[in-house]
Chain A
Amino acid sequence: MRYYALLLLLFSSISIYSQNCNNTLQGTITDQHDGTLLVGALIIVSETGQDVTTNENGEYVITNLCDAKYSLQISHPFCNTKGFEIRISQNTQRNFKLEHHLEELNEVIVKGKANSNNTSTKLVNELSETEIDRYSSSTFGDALNSINGVSSLNTGNTIVKPMINGLHSSRVVIINNDVRMQDQEWGAEHAPNLDVNMASKITVVKGSGALQYGGDAIGGVVIAETAKVAVKDSLFGKTILSGATNGRGGALTSSLTKSFDSGWYTTLQGTLKRFGDFEAPDYVLSNTGLFERDFSVRVGLNRFDFGVEGFYSLYKNEIGILAASHLGSAQDQVRAINSPVPLIINDFTYNIIPPKQDVTHHLARVKGYKRLHNIGKLSLQYDFQKNNRLEFDVRRGANRNEASIDLQLDTHTLLLDLDYKLADEFRMKSGIMGRYQNNFANPETGVRRLIPDYDKYELGIYTLGEYSLNEQWLFEAGLRFDYAYMDVFKFYRTSFWESRNYDELIPEIIVEEFNNQILTNPQPSFSNLSASAGFTYDINSKYKLFFNYALSSRAPNPSELFSEGLHHSASRIELGDLLFDSEVGHNISLSFQKKKEAFGFSISPYSNSINNFIVLEPTGISQTIRGNFQVWEYRQTNAQMLGIDVDASYDFYRNFGFYSQFALVKGYDVEKDEPLINLPAANFKNALVYQNPKINNLWLQLQSEYVFRQNEYPDNNFEVFVPETGTTELVDVSTPPNAYHLLNFNSNIDFTLNPKSTLSVGLTIANIFNTSYRNYLNRLRYYADDLGRNLLLNIKLNY
């Protein structure tokens, strides 16, 4: 707080420059789809607080504008509010298009946006607020799943880890309100620790290239943002109440924003989510409930040439893990896999017992920006994150109620960015990042540390340039350098230390030797270079081409470096390697887009070649007194992935539209010449939509989702001796489940209560036919079916 006040004090003493302020901006506002002139659209100039509305001809005029860049916010009763940036240096004529809110409801808006924050030469996908609101009672990962080419690696249905074009975990960077999430994202069963209700826009950049967020996003970047608040005296908010039959629970989320003419604003937001055991078509999925509580607050000041903002959010989630998935050994695994129903099925309950996760994530951020005359926009941001992850296992004796994993990850980051122009058509952005991270594994658990105690220091520096040759051609290039140094204290089992030959290779890192463990002090460091270059070409008013090449480098994460022991939730022994190098990825992406009129589409093929790709794969069986376990070791290899995402939409008759998505990815371990594990199967989604603004914005959608069987997978099966039958049995952990088809229904209708309040009621029926299915990317697919039918009622009040 003191820092915040200081920042404010420093900024407030800077004088404002005098300049020409007699410019006029005028033009029309139309509906993007049919070109109808919009009457009564409201335009707010963020910097000056001016507001004007369009006349009966859809025209507007804003006077007394200075030579500067302005942020405009344009809203209309039937449209989603949209922000535009415009540079004024003389009297300007500019026409804007708004997208009809109704049409936007379930459509993934595909657009390339010049001068965007992430990358201009890639086709990015966005989810709007209306779309996000429909996932109010689901997870962040579920919302992302609706974007073509994005899938998820699930642990049950409540731990949903986003996967972009087949890559996940540390290869997908998540930016929450300009803060890079540091929430132990390395684990496959660690979902992002953020509340989907906090975001009003989610952008997905597939593949690397968004260098300002890091050079290691080999899979891609997900950017969640909250809405910008207009400089205007107003009070508005939103409450969503949703209830679902499957899980017999729901969510309540509410936000309230107060803004002032002076530029000050504040937003309060909170979410409460509670579910009991979910159900597959034929049985209860015992111990799969969740209890989530989130809160965030934002206070800021927006002025013409500077702004400051403070933000804090708390995310707390207690998640049950399917009881039947907790296994003691490979023999147990045989029983669980061979059983047609889960080994443990109890009556429905809201209680959550071990195995379970209990995660808490605090995120605090202060940022400020200042427009410097003749230089550009300078931003400074400091953020602090505190992530506490508790994992509870089924335990014995006095430790019964103690967590088996208790990790605390604290991260401090400082960012300084400068956005500047060398010429009107040549923009640059440069920045520097410093980060300190500390991981502390609580020894009170009485279980050897999964992730060791460490300190990590990072420094990053980048520069990006964007050059508009003419109306048609735009070029972009960027360069980034990252350095990371880790200071680690790790206990190794003596037997493992020697089996890896570390006693010969790196004896110098030994600190102390104990009875059967060795304390070591590894200090790995990584220097990584990343780069990006590309162009967009507006072929004509209808067609557009995007091309981008990106080089990315990712340092191995703590789990890849230091894993050494039994991973209970996976019933296998996982072994990392201290001597790993950075992964280096080459991503080439191409998109061909036809802008939406009645018919629009985009076709995006891509290639990912990754050197030193870190894979986790089975290498043998380890005998222990508990029985046999499969051993999985991290290994570096070269991987080649190829894929394509296709989106299309066609408004074929009056109020009817048809939407289609297809995604396919193939990936191979080049050295071993076999397919990569856990790649999403091809999937094909089609939706028929009816919408009618005249009947209270009625919107109806029937959606078909077909997921093919994954036919390319490595054979990781193994054999184990089962004493009760005296036989050796095959443990089939490889064969993917069959293809499946789901039919879903979505609907929504709006009621205007008064000029300022709208009530929206939505009904969703997921898996209408109560189909039993299993998904290859669900880690619990061996043990239970996926979710059965779900009726979801969603009531939203905007005020």
Chain B
Amino acid sequence: MKAIKFLSIIALTGLVLTSCSDDDDAPEIINEEELITTMTVTLTPSTGGTAITLVTRDLDGDGPDAPFIDVSGNLTSGATYNGSIVLLNETESPAENITEEVEEESDEHQFFFTPGGGLDVTTTYSNFDTAGNNLGTEFSLVAGAVSSGTLSFTLRHEPTKPNNDLSDAGGETDIEATFDIEIQ
């Protein structure tokens, strides 16, 4: 008798358990919304002529594939270039333009341009945040003497503003890309 009672309790609880099972619907895919896959820096000579593009593209985000990096050409010594930066999330279709988001939240972002390895370039910010501090999605670049080296672009989220350069900017790195550049 007792055994029957206990068995019935188990059976009842079993029902409770199985009735809680979810259906087997496959989950929906998530494409990371804040992911930046691609940065394109366009350097247009102020005197006109062919623009030079620097591209870094990493379609698998923090997956194992390294970013694909491309520099379309060399800079000309003594020339001044108008630079503009476009950030895209190409995992979405159509690709989402993240530059707009960065510019909307200009107070919380800043690009830094760091030449290295003997590259002779100087950069100047061309656009600014709402408080008048540097933003840098637009800038101008002057190519100096004939030289070669690297040019790094760093986007910091929530940096200390104003600042002198990367070393006292703080914040968190959203983008960090280094290109091999030659000035002829």
Interface positions of A (Cβ within 8 A of B):
3, 6-7, 10, 14, 326-329, 331-332, 335, 343-344, 370, 372, 378, 380, 382, 394-397, 399, 410, 412, 414, 416, 434, 436, 438, 440-441, 443, 445-449, 452-453, 455, 487, 489, 491, 493-496, 499, 511-512, 514-517, 519, 521, 565-566, 573, 622-629, 721, 723-726
**Is the CB–CB distance between B174 and A626 below 8 Å?**
yes
Residues of A near B73 (CB, < 8 A) are: none
At the interface, yes or no: B152 with Cβ under 8 Å from chain A?
Answer: yes
Instruction: Knowing A495-B64, A573-B62 are in contact, say whether A511-B20 is a contact too (CB < 8 A).
Output: no
Q: Which of B36-65 contact A (CB under 8 A)?
A: 36-39, 56-65
A434, A452, A624: the one contacting B67 at CB < 8 Å is: A624
**Is the CB–CB distance between A328 and B33 below 8 Å?**
no
At the interface, yes or no: B79 with Cβ under 8 Å from chain A?
Answer: no
Kindly provide the distance from the CB of B165 to the nearest chain A CB, expressed in whole angstroms.
7
At the interface, yes or no: B12 with Cβ under 8 Å from chain A?
Answer: yes
A237-B59 Cα distance, complex, nearest whole Å: 61
Residues of A near B2 (CB, < 8 A) are: 14, 370, 372
Kindly provide the distance from the CB of B164 to the nearest chain A CB, expressed in whole angstroms.
11
Residues of B near A517 (CB, < 8 A) are: 29
Kindly provide the distance from the CB of B1 to the nearest chain A CB, expressed in whole angstroms.
8
Residues of B near A494 (CB, < 8 A) are: 60
Interface string of B152-176 (1 = CB under 8 A from A): 1010111000000111001111111
Instruction: Knowing A414-B13, A446-B33, A624-B61 are in contact, say whether A724-B101 is a contact too (CB < 8 A).
Output: no
Residues of B near A623 (CB, < 8 A) are: 58, 66-67
Instruction: Knowing A441-B27, A493-B60, A625-B58 are in contact, say whether A723-B5 is a contact too (CB < 8 A).
Output: no
**Whose C-beta in chain A lies nearest to the C-beta of B173?**
A328
Instruction: Knowing A455-B21, A511-B26 are in contact, say whether A624-B32 is a contact too (CB < 8 A).
Output: no
A327-B30 Cα distance, complex, nearest whole Å: 23
**Is the CB–CB distance between B13 and A495 below 8 Å?**
no
**Is the CB–CB distance between B32 and A446 below 8 Å?**
yes
At the interface, yes or no: B105 with Cβ under 8 Å from chain A?
Answer: yes
Instruction: Knowing A416-B10, A625-B37 are in contact, say whether A495-B157 is a contact too (CB < 8 A).
Output: no
**Is the CB–CB distance between A625 and B101 below 8 Å?**
no
Interface string of B14-26 (1 = CB under 8 A from A): 1011001110101
Residues of A near B167 (CB, < 8 A) are: 724-725
Beyond A10-B5, A438-B22, 9 extra complex contacts between A and B, CB < 8 Å: A328-B157, A328-B171, A328-B174, A335-B170, A438-B20, A452-B27, A723-B114, A723-B154, A726-B114
A447-B35 Cα distance, complex, nearest whole Å: 9
Instruction: Sample 25 A-B pairs with CB under 8 A, ordered by A number.
Output: A6-B12, A327-B172, A329-B173, A329-B176, A335-B170, A378-B6, A380-B9, A396-B105, A396-B174, A412-B17, A414-B13, A438-B21, A446-B33, A448-B30, A449-B30, A491-B29, A491-B30, A494-B60, A515-B93, A519-B29, A622-B62, A623-B66, A624-B61, A625-B61, A724-B165
Residues of B near A725 (CB, < 8 A) are: 167
A517-B20 Cα distance, complex, nearest whole Å: 30
**Whose C-beta in chain A lies nearest to the C-beta of B166?**
A724
Kindly provide the distance from the CB of B99 to the nearest chain A CB, expressed in whole angstroms.
12
**Whose C-beta in chain A lies nearest to the C-beta of B38?**
A625
A517-B29 Cα distance, complex, nearest whole Å: 8
B21, B22, B172: the one contacting A328 at CB < 8 Å is: B172
Residues of B near A440 (CB, < 8 A) are: 22
Interface string of B131-150 (1 = CB under 8 A from A): 00000000000000000001
B9, B59, B170: the one contacting A516 at CB < 8 Å is: B59
Residues of B near A6 (CB, < 8 A) are: 9, 12
A496-B62 Cα distance, complex, nearest whole Å: 10
**Is the CB–CB distance between B30 and A396 below 8 Å?**
no
**Is the CB–CB distance between A332 and B105 below 8 Å?**
no
**Is the CB–CB distance between B6 and A332 below 8 Å?**
no
**Whose C-beta in chain A lies nearest to the C-beta of B22?**
A438
**Is the CB–CB distance between B175 and A626 below 8 Å?**
yes
Kindly provide the distance from the CB of A516 to the nearest chain B CB, expressed in whole angstroms.
6
Residues of B near A10 (CB, < 8 A) are: 5, 8-9
**Is the CB–CB distance between A723 and B91 below 8 Å?**
no
Instruction: Knowing A332-B173, A514-B29 are in contact, say whether A566-B62 is a contact too (CB < 8 A).
Output: yes
A7, A329, A332, A434: the one contacting B9 at CB < 8 Å is: A7
B17, B64, B172, B175: the one contacting A496 at CB < 8 Å is: B64
Instruction: Knowing A517-B29, A726-B117 are in contact, say whether A622-B178 is a contact too (CB < 8 A).
Output: no
Instruction: Knowing A10-B9, A414-B13, A491-B30 are in contact, say whether A455-B67 is a contact too (CB < 8 A).
Output: no
Main secondary structure of the interface of A (DSSP, over half): mixed
Interface positions of B (Cβ within 8 A of A):
2, 5-6, 8-10, 12-14, 16-17, 20-22, 24, 26-30, 32-34, 36-39, 56-67, 91, 93, 101-102, 104-105, 108, 112, 114, 116-117, 150, 152, 154, 156-158, 165-167, 170-178
Residues of B near A3 (CB, < 8 A) are: 12-13, 16
A410-B91 Cα distance, complex, nearest whole Å: 32
Residues of B near A335 (CB, < 8 A) are: 170
A394-B159 Cα distance, complex, nearest whole Å: 13
B13, B59, B63 pick with most chain A CB within 10 angstroms: B63
A491-B38 Cα distance, complex, nearest whole Å: 22
**Is the CB–CB distance between B176 and A626 below 8 Å?**
yes
A623-B175 Cα distance, complex, nearest whole Å: 11
Kindly provide the distance from the CB of A156 to the nearest chain B CB, expressed in whole angstroms.
18
Instruction: Knowing A443-B28, A489-B26 are in contact, say whether A396-B34 is a contact too (CB < 8 A).
Output: yes
**Is the CB–CB distance between A396 and B22 below 8 Å?**
no
Residues of A near B178 (CB, < 8 A) are: 721, 723
**Is the CB–CB distance between A627 and B165 below 8 Å?**
no
**Is the CB–CB distance between B60 and A625 below 8 Å?**
no
Kindly provide the distance from the CB of B3 to the nearest chain A CB, expressed in whole angstroms.
9
**Whose C-beta in chain B lies nearest to the C-beta of A518?**
B29
**Is the CB–CB distance between B67 and A447 below 8 Å?**
no
A414, A512, A629: the one contacting B62 at CB < 8 Å is: A629
Kindly provide the distance from the CB of B178 to the nearest chain A CB, expressed in whole angstroms.
6
A399-B10 Cα distance, complex, nearest whole Å: 46
Residues of A near B170 (CB, < 8 A) are: 335, 343-344
Kindly provide the distance from the CB of A442 to the nearest chain B CB, expressed in whole angstroms.
10
B34, B39, B64, B102 pick with most chain A CB within 10 angstroms: B64
Kindly provide the distance from the CB of A415 to the nearest chain B CB, expressed in whole angstroms.
10
**Is the CB–CB distance between B56 and A516 below 8 Å?**
no
Residues of B near A493 (CB, < 8 A) are: 60-61, 63
Kindly provide the distance from the CB of B159 to the nearest chain A CB, expressed in whole angstroms.
11
A516-B177 Cα distance, complex, nearest whole Å: 22
A515-B101 Cα distance, complex, nearest whole Å: 24
A436-B154 Cα distance, complex, nearest whole Å: 48
**Is the CB–CB distance between B165 and A394 below 8 Å?**
no
A711-B61 Cα distance, complex, nearest whole Å: 37
Query: Sorted from nearest, which 3 A-B pairs have the closest CB atoms?
Result: A328-B173, A627-B176, A723-B152
A329, A396, A491 pick with most chain B CB within 10 angstroms: A396
Residues of A near B156 (CB, < 8 A) are: 328
A434-B165 Cα distance, complex, nearest whole Å: 60
**Whose C-beta in chain A lies nearest to the C-beta of B91?**
A516
A396-B101 Cα distance, complex, nearest whole Å: 8
Residues of B near A447 (CB, < 8 A) are: 30, 32-34
Residues of B near A624 (CB, < 8 A) are: 58, 61-62, 67
